Amino acid sequence: MKVLVTGATGLVGQAVQRVVAENPAEGEEWIFVSSKDADLTDGEATEALFQKHKPTHVIHLAAMVGGLFRNMKYPVDLLRNNLHINDNVLYNSYKTGVKKCVSCLSTCIFPDKTTYPINETMLHKGPPHPSNFGFSYAKRMIDIENRAFNKQYGCQFTSVIPTNVFGPHDNFNLQDGHVMPGLINKIFIAKRDGTPFTVWGTGAARRQFIYSYDLAKLIIWVMREYEEIDPIILSVPEEAEISIKELAEMVIEAMEFKGEVLYDTTKSDGQLKKTADNAKLKGYLPDFKFSNMKDAVKETVQWFVNNQDIARK
């Protein structure tokens, strides 16, 4: 088994690298690549990468990603770059005879108007939230391509649907990053400068968060064991959903921040909730133990504080 991992320098990719290094399996060779190895928006570069490595399995993580504000500002870039990246990876996986390709969707691409909790069958049942429609439609096309490649050529291409991921190596940039790394970086700055810490929005929005190392273990399990073409939600249970306010309080505690905390209610909350149902995952892996959220937040904060020179911010 020769596994090619795209997007291996990112938040999820770094976690996959660590999990593989900690639990090496016999008969598996792993190749980790980033945009430095090939720009996957470029068809020829992608073909050259697949011809060079000739993988038998692919974990496709590479994507142009961003939080709410980047999604609202650059819908064309998020749509076109992701369409190209995904089509190039899936087409070249087919052309080089890859046995299995596991790609990454996201719970944020589900229909805006839906019932909760969302499950895998609801992915295409209505338009996504207007704030991230470009990214969402590009991601949804992975599932369409997976089905098409399976129908026409019998390819075993599938996808996973993570909820909000966090952990070391995240993007801590205040404009482009997701909510958790944004909060961590803002508190870091507030602590350093002795200024108030401002949370964007009311703090009422609710989210499920999965630690990148838990997600990496689950993605590797999907690559080795999961046989369906249909996607699978990789999420903590519904009961583990928390408000952004609760999350902010967790980060404040982890960073021992004692200053003033403000909520900028002129900023958008985004989707108020998007609770995901992890029943399918639980059916396959009833005994999987998710990390303790507070410990995982502490580890992430520690990584950010100790890695100021390499952290994306």
Among 93, 171, 235, 300, which residue interacts with ligand NDP (rule: CB under 6 A)?
171
Is 162 among the residues that bind ligand NDP (CB under 6 A)?
A: yes
Cα gap 110→143, rounded to integer Å: 12
Q: By beta-carbon distance, which residue lies closest to ligand NDP? A: 10
Residue 244 near residue 180 (C-beta atoms within 8 A):
no
Is 165 among the residues that bind ligand NDP (CB under 6 A)?
A: yes
Segment near ligand NDP (CB under 6 A); pick from 35-43, 224-232, 247-255, 271-279: 35-43
Task: Please give the structure tokens belonging to residue 97.
Answer: 């005879």
Is 85 among the residues that bind ligand NDP (CB under 6 A)?
A: yes
Among 3, 5, 63, 248, which residue interacts with ligand NDP (rule: CB under 6 A)?
63
Q: Which of residues 177-216 bind ligand NDP (CB under 6 A)?
A: 178
Decide: residue 272, CB within 10 A, 0-12 exposed, 13-18 middle, 19+ buried: exposed
Is 167 among the residues that bind ligand NDP (CB under 6 A)?
A: no
Cα gap 197→304, rounded to integer Å: 17
Among 17, 35, 150, 202, which residue interacts with ligand NDP (rule: CB under 6 A)?
35
Q: Would you say 12 or 190 has its CB closer to ligand NDP?
A: 12
Is 34 among the residues that bind ligand NDP (CB under 6 A)?
A: yes
Beta bridge partners of 60: 6, 103
Among 3, 16, 64, 68, which residue interacts with ligand NDP (rule: CB under 6 A)?
64
Residue 93: count other Cβ atoms within 10 Å of its Cβ.
25
Segment near ligand NDP (CB under 6 A); pick from 9-17, 112-120, 224-232, 283-291: 9-17
Q: Would you say 93 or 171 has its CB closer to ligand NDP?
A: 171
Segment near ligand NDP (CB under 6 A); pick from 8-16, 123-131, 191-199, 292-300: 8-16
Is 164 among the residues that bind ligand NDP (CB under 6 A)?
A: yes
Q: Would you say 48 or 261 has its CB closer to ligand NDP?
A: 48
How are beta strands 29-32 and 197-200 bridged, if at all? Answer: unpaired
Contacts with ligand NDP, residue ranges (CB under 6 A): 7-13, 34-36, 39-41, 61-65, 85, 104, 106, 162, 164-165, 171, 178
